A and B are shown apart, each in its own frame.
Chain A
Amino acid sequence: MSSKFSIQRYLRGLVFPFCPGCGNFIVVNSFLKAVHELGHQDLSGFVFCSGIGCAAWIPSPYFLADSIHTPHGRSIPVATGVKLFRPELEVVVFGGDGDLAGIGLNHLIHAARRNVDIKVIMVNNMVYGMTGGQVAPTTPFGTVTTTTPYKSFERPLDVTRLIAAAGANYAARWTTVHPEQFKEAVKKALKIRGFSFIEMVSQCPTAFGRRAGFKNVAEMLQWFKQNSILKEKAEKMNWKELEGKIVIGEFVCRQEPTLGDNVRQNIWRKTHG
């Protein structure tokens, strides 16, 4: 660390559009602190890709950096195209659970399978927030949302476990009551080569909390705190005990060759004799 952390150094100076109490502020802060602690004085060399939704507005256009705000769900293929052609760039994807695990889930799985060297941060607020609070593939069973007025009747997807299984080099989950752990995970993800995925379980007081029965942001954070279980402990529990819990921690950390490595070393070396 060569200087004191100043968040303005990394921002364009535009006003973030998020609601009061939104978890995105914690994500912005912790992410940029991680970048700072890794010694980056600015965001040159970074490219941010994000789709549609509140979390997609974290980098675009607020970060003082190159950013591509893509069609809904398509940030990962755009990022894949960027990274394959310009491997020296640090490509980071921000998105919500709807964007990355709903409409864009196919790309997320395949990017993990390919182990393309991009970093994906999924802010999971368990709801479609920007469109007004509709049920998402991550909404806990039995939650009232605008499209599940009689409580949701589908089971949520464990995205981080799925991505760890799909072949990512790094996958971790934290919540907004764990900003330090999240920051450290970001640093680790940025240092590790290969597909890295961090899920940040986050509060949406406006579109999720008030219908789901939370009186305020503090109650939501309390809910995260009380229901979070470290992965090491969770491994000793059965599925019934884990119902409704948030398993936090590192799901995978390895150093398998990346897509770019394989394209350049295996294919190009062969074709060039």
Chain B
Amino acid sequence: MASLLGSGVYFWQGNEACAYGAIAAGCRFFAAYPITPSSEIAERLARLLPLVDGIFIQMEDELASINAVIGASWAGAKAMTATSGPGFSLMQESIGYAFMTETPCVIVNVQRVGPSTGQATKAAQGDVMQARWGTHGDYVPIVLSPNSVQEMFQLTVRAFNLAEKYRTPVILLVDEIVGHMREKIEVPPIKEICIVNRKKPKKGDRSFFAWAEVAPMPTLGEGFNVSVTGSTHDEYGVRFTADPEVHRRLISNLVDKIEKHRNDIVELEAWNTDDCSTAIICFGCTSRAVYEAVEEARRKGVNVGYVRLKTLWPFPAETIRRLAQRVEKIVVPEMNLRQLFYEVERAAYGMAEVTAVNKIGGGQIITPEEILEEILS
């Protein structure tokens, strides 16, 4: 590992940084199906994983990819897959399965223009709600959103750490711009990278599921005779396909496991939000235009601040609510037709005016000027 990835300054593509971040986090199994604009992650890991005795396999489709990842995770691997919108749609059933069975794994979605085949090579942020509500039934996903090549590395490591800590699938929701752009990245010494590993059971343990806190996770072949099922099950993994109480207890425990640790999971970057009159809520590549728009606005004498969501889900509604109490206006720029906007509006509860800046198609970013215009309007 040390020889594979020395600390230092590199000039990398976002997708490349994701691959190296995965290796640094301890990822030793990767299964995926080629899809633009995420394929560089697979191409890089196809080279890197054999060097650390890890497994790379290109599967026949995205359904197979996510399920191979789930199998490898139960076999003891830190495992990941990478895809884009269409593949992410195909994976949804099994993302729900990973949530239900408490299988730690990382799913990278480098978003492109949709729906359907859309514009395969062009940037978009249209999967915010698919990442939140994509699978059927009730669940809470953890979704992280990087805005730089540096963060592609860091949040990939963090995605693995959160997956292991909370025994749940974690989605890294990237956009094509962050995935494909190249910029400077500083890789810290491997010893300084915080790595979290899943809690293992003790000999004689039999209860591996549905705790309100995180249950220990056995590895296959260690003699625990674990029964894993996506059907409603009790703490011993035994199916209860009709009992309402078992289902309510299971789901509320799985949801609580994440909801109760919001403070640990939610990360955001806030700037000048204490006394600004207008605040911007942003994520991913759009935030890069926000930085410039905010500076320009301040030069024009408008007191503007911003919150950038590094964790999209769970959504930091309380932070937004308190912000709405202080500011007059909240602007939500995003490369979709109002997905985060409604969530912000809901959290603001009418206490501040919430306006949107939206742009879709062709991978055209929202410019600083367009955001500035909305700030000043």
The chain A residues found within 8 Å of chain B, CB to CB, are: 12, 14, 44-45, 47, 49, 60-61, 64-71, 73-74, 76-86, 88-89, 106-107, 110, 263, 267-268, 270-272
Contact check, B227 vs A60: say whether CB atoms are below 8 A apart: yes
Q: A66-B225, A68-B74 are in contact. List 18 more A-B contacts (CB 8 A).
A: A44-B221, A64-B225, A66-B220, A66-B221, A66-B226, A69-B229, A70-B70, A74-B63, A74-B94, A79-B71, A80-B68, A81-B68, A82-B74, A85-B76, A85-B79, A88-B221, A89-B220, A106-B60
The distance from the CB of A258 to the nearest CB of chain B, in whole angstroms, is 13
A259 to B79, CA, bound (A): 19
Q: A74-B94, A106-B61 are known contacts. Are A61 and B227 too (CB-CB below 8 A)?
A: yes
Q: Quick check: B79 and A81 within 8 Å, CB to CB?
A: yes
Q: Which residues of B contact A107 (CB under 8 A)?
A: 60, 63-64
In the complex, whether B211 has a CB less than 8 A from a CB of chain A is no
Does B97 have its Cβ within 8 Å of any Cβ on chain A? yes
Is B254 in the interface zone, CB < 8 Å from A?
A: no
Report the Cα distance A86→B222, complex, angstroms: 11
Residue of A whose beta carbon sits closest to that of B57: A84
A208 to B94, CA, bound (A): 30
Distance A7 CA – B56 CA, assembled complex (angstroms): 39
A69 touches B225 (CB 8 A): no
- Closest approach, in angstroms, between the C-beta of B177 and any C-beta of chain A? 31
Given A69-B229, A71-B93, A271-B50, A80 contacting B55 (CB threshold 8 A): no
Tell whether, in the assembled complex, residue B221 and residue A77 are in contact, meaning their CB atoms are under 8 Å apart. no
A111 to chain B, nearest CB (A): 9
- Can you report 21 residue pairs joining A to B where beta carbons are below 8 Å apart? A44-B223, A47-B220, A60-B229, A61-B229, A61-B239, A64-B225, A66-B224, A66-B227, A68-B70, A69-B230, A70-B70, A71-B97, A77-B31, A80-B59, A80-B68, A82-B74, A84-B57, A86-B75, A88-B221, A106-B64, A268-B53
Interface on chain B toward A: helix, strand, loop, or mixed SS?
mixed
Q: Flag if A70 contacts B67 (CB, 8 Å).
A: yes
Which 10 interchain pairs have the tightest Cβ spacing?
A81-B71, A81-B68, A61-B227, A78-B71, A77-B67, A69-B229, A81-B72, A77-B64, A85-B75, A74-B67
Interface size bracket, B side: 35 or more
A159 to chain B, nearest CB (A): 17
B69 part of interface (Cβ distance < 8 Å): yes
Cα of A14 to Cα of B239 in the assembled complex, Å: 11
Chain A minimum-CB-distance residue to B79: A81
Smallest CB-CB separation from A79: which chain B residue?
Answer: B71
Inter-chain contact A69/B228, CB cutoff 8 Å: yes
Interface residue? B319 (CB, 8 A):
no
Q: Which residues of A contact B238 (CB under 8 A)?
A: 14, 61
Q: How far, in whole Å, are A89 and B74 apart by their CA atoms in the complex?
A: 12
Indicate if B29 sits at the interface (CB-CB under 8 A).
yes
Q: List A contacts of B73 (CB < 8 A).
A: 81
Q: A47-B221, A70-B230, A271-B50 are contacts. A84–B29 as well, Cβ < 8 Å?
A: yes
Q: How far is the CA of A68 from the CA of B73 in the complex (A)?
A: 12
User: In the assembled complex, which residues on chain A have CB atoms less than 8 Å from the CB atom of B72?
Assistant: 81-82, 84-85
A65 to B72, CA, bound (A): 17
A26 CA / B286 CA spacing, docked (Å): 61
Complex Cα–Cα for A70 and B98 (A): 10
Q: In the complex, are the beta carbons of B50 and A78 less than 8 A apart?
A: no
Q: Is B130 an interface residue (CB 8 A)?
A: no
In the complex formed, the residue of B with least CB distance to A109 is B60
Enumerate chain A residues within 8 angstroms of B50, measured Cβ to Cβ: 267-268, 270-271
B237 at interface by CB-CB < 8 Å: yes
Asked if B77 is at the interface (CB within 8 A of a chain A CB), the reply is yes
Residues of B within 8 A of A81 (CB): 29, 31, 67-73, 75, 77, 79
* A12, A14, A78, A110 interface centre (most CB from chain B within 10 Å): A78
A68 to B69, CA, bound (A): 13
Select from chain B the residue with minimum beta-carbon distance to A45.
Answer: B221
Q: How far, in angstroms, from A85 to B50 measured CA to CA in the complex?
A: 12
Q: Is the CB of A77 within 8 A of B71?
A: yes
- Measured in the bound complex, the distance between the Cα atoms of B231 and A60 in whole Å is 11
B229, A77: Cβ atoms under 8 Å? no
Within 8 A of A (CB), among B30-68: 31, 50-51, 53, 55, 57, 59-61, 63-65, 67-68
Most buried by B among A45, A66, A80, A84: A66
Residues of B within 8 A of A80 (CB): 57, 59, 64, 68, 71
Contact A84 B221 (CB under 8 A): no
Query: What B residues does A268 contact at CB under 8 A?
Result: 50, 53
CB of B67 within 8 A of CB of A67, answer no
Q: List A contacts of B229 (CB < 8 A).
A: 60-61, 68-69
User: In chain B between 200 and 240, which residues have their CB closer than 8 angstroms to a CB of chain A?
Assistant: 220-221, 223-231, 237-239
Residue contact B228 to A85, C-beta cutoff 8 Å:
no
**Contact (Cβ within 8 A) A67 B75:** no
Q: Which residues of B contact A64 (CB under 8 A)?
A: 225
Question: Closest CB-CB distance, B251 to chain A, in whole Å?
Answer: 17
Q: How many angstroms between the C-alpha atoms of A69 and B70 in the bound complex?
A: 11
Q: How far is the CA of A88 from the CA of B219 in the complex (A)?
A: 13
CA A12 to CA B229, docked complex, whole Å: 16
Q: Which of B57, B60, B68 has the most CB of A within 10 A?
A: B68
Beyond A85-B76, A271-B50, is A65–B225 a contact (Cβ under 8 Å)?
yes
B236 to chain A, nearest CB (A): 8
Nearest A residue to B100 by beta-carbon distance? A71
Provide the residues of chain A in CB contact with B59, threshold 8 Å.
Answer: 77, 80, 110
CB distance from A262 to the nearest CB of B (A): 11
Nearest to A43 among chain B residues (CB) is B225
CA distance in complex: A110, B29 (Å) = 19
With a cutoff of 8 Å between Cβ atoms, the chain A residues found around residue B61 in the complex are 106
Nearest CB in chain B: distance from A189 CB, A: 20
Q: A residues within 8 A CB of B228?
A: 67-69
A79 to B64, CA, bound (A): 10
